Chains A and B, each alone.
Chain A
């Protein structure tokens, strides 16, 4: 009989990951850094879903939802990186503070 990690530990780790991702998204002055923070937040949500899915061992609905979250994250990253490449060709920088053409 092996020891099972309690649910609270998963939830605390996921909350820490989500907070770190939010801090990275707000703090970074680099669009790719913001994407990395976004990935951290999506991983925190996935961790929550999988941790709760252990209590549903017949249907595994949490793991199915986490699978769809991974698919949507992959699609989002590809489109975001394409947009970042276009922005870099246009502005010569990927600082979100310098993308201010609509303000002028």
Chain B
């Protein structure tokens, strides 16, 4: 539950960074899809799959050791990956166009024209994918043997 609230703060921060880099439509999409949809789904999932508290159960003696090992390896691997990424970023030289000042023109027109002309096939495939995902999720979550 705390992880969901932390994810909420992280998504808000990413949306703010989108705004600061001039992607206004993408920031609004991020807010609506993630905060409005995915986060609510995750919170419902957390509430529907509440596991009983097993802290005072003496039947699982090995669990602490396994989780400690997993935490050590996970933090080690991700920290080393972070330093590899940092060295890669600082050693890279990008040949970029000059950064134009952030104009007040909205990106919605460009995105819409591009989405409807040159990226029409991925757009349609994304629509089909969403339909298939919704139908599949409904079929999977359907309780087949009500008892």
Contacts and interface: CB of A to CB of B under 8 A. Distances in A.
B84 to A, nearest CB: 9
Contact of A26 (B26, B73, B96, B97): B73
A24 B23 CA distance: 28
Interface of B: 3-4, 7, 10-11, 14, 17-18, 20-23, 25-26, 29-30, 33-34, 37-38, 41-42, 44-46, 48-49, 51, 66-67, 70-71, 73-75, 77-79, 81-82, 85-86, 89-90, 94, 96-97, 99-102, 107, 110-111, 114-115, 119, 122, 126, 129-130, 132-134, 136-138, 140-141, 143
Interface string A88-104: 11000111010000000
A5 B20 contact: yes
Interface in A58-77: 58-61, 63-64, 66-68, 70-77
Q: Which bracket fits the contact residues of A? A: 35 or more
A16 B86 CA distance: 9
Contacts of B66: 97
Nearest to B22: A54
Contacts of B22: 54, 57
Interface of A: 1-2, 4-5, 7-8, 10-13, 15-20, 22-27, 29, 32-33, 35-36, 39-40, 43, 46-47, 50-51, 53-61, 63-64, 66-68, 70-79, 81-86, 88-89, 93-95, 97
A4 to B, nearest CB: 6
